[in-house]
Amino acid sequence: MSTAEQPQAILVFPHLRVQNANAISSPLTHGFPAITAFTGLMWALERQLAQAHIPLHLHGVGVICHQHQEQVAPGFVHTFHLTRNPIDKDGSTAAIVEEGRIHVEITLVFSVSESIPATAVPTLVQGSEEAMQQWADAAGQVLSQMRIAGGSILPARATPGQRLRPWLAVLPDDATQQAAQWRRWRRQWLPGFALVARDDLLAQRLKDLQAQDPQATLLDAWLHASRFNYQPTAPTPTEDPGTPAPEDHAAPQKRVTWEDPCRGPGKGWIVPIPVGYTALSEAHPAGSVGHARDTRIPVRFVEAIYSLGQWVSPHRLNHLGQLLWHTETQQAQGLYRCRNGYMAVSPPDTDHSDDDYFPY
């Protein structure tokens, strides 16, 4: 068996309705499932497809959100809607485990390649649309029986103008044709917002803070970028400077406005997100840690690592690589994280080093 190194096609599941997905993405963030939930779904789906005799290898995943409804009580401080568990056998009240839930409508885009023997006839080629559609329909049936970030997949609602059937399309070899195809694809995902990585903004925020305080750290930069930081702007007179002063020669009143200089118009929808895990210990031999989920593989204790993300309209993405998330493993450094190919126009002094994230 041979597996292609580069993606040959995309597999799209449009407008999936997911109920009660996990809204708590990490110990510090909430509001949308973590991107690791979707990369985990990618691996689980690939195994399920293999059992269904669909020889597809999944390389990356893109997430586009069309609607979201977090299950919280409104107010100055939002609180999750929690379930009330039955009382214990002694009649005491059972402890409440905080669970955040969210209803979402999303489109999932997977880059795929075909795993076939060298002598077999490939299916992911131009002209095999009927066979590819059969694979896409079968993959949709498999996915409908799975969970996405712990949430259940509901039947799609027929909506005029929306393509709800899963589909599989080959990536053209010619760059011009691929760009034209991409422009047609991304229009199908509107209205919606795609989650992309913005490690560059975290690095730039750190430089801005260190210009004021050399002791600022990545944690300070991440917290600063995760909130609104309002500052008073220069006061402006309420009257035209050319207007004569009143007879009592009183100075014209001045108005002070407050704004966040880092979140002005055109700055985008920037959010703090978890992007993977970093190791806290060495890998323990298989079966040596009690109550492990799988006793056949080594166990390693980890904690979340964080960066910044941005919700971007699909029509602002220039190619497929800007949408997809890929996994990256560095065993020696104990790093297991997700990376995205989005790159925006950055200032010349922006640092794009591998240190543009921090472990909590």
What's the pLDDT score for residue 247?
A: 57
What's the pLDDT score for residue 47?
A: 94
CA distance 231 to 334: 40
Task: Provide the whole-model pTM.
Answer: 0.84
CA distance 282 to 301: 8
CA distance 111 to 61: 7
- Judge contact between 352 and 199, C-beta under 8 A: yes
CA distance 152 to 18: 5
Q: pLDDT tens for residues 168-222? A: 999 988 889 989 999 999 999 999 999 999 999 999 999 999 998 899 999 999 9
CA distance 172 to 9: 9
Alpha helices (H) along the chain: 35-51, 129-144, 175-187, 199-212, 218-225
The helix/strand count (H/E) of the chain reads as: 5, 19
Q: Tell me, letter by letter, the H, E, C secondary structure of 108-142.
A: EEEEEEEEECCCCCCCCCCCCHHHHHHHHHHHHHH
What's the pLDDT score for residue 162?
A: 80
Bond into 74 cis (ω within 30): no
- Judge contact between 336 and 278, C-beta under 8 A: yes
Instruction: Average pLDDT across each block of 10 residues of the chain; the chain has 360 residues. List them in order.
Output: 66 95 91 94 94 92 94 84 79 78 95 82 82 93 94 86 88 89 92 93 91 90 88 66 55 75 80 93 89 88 93 93 93 90 60 41
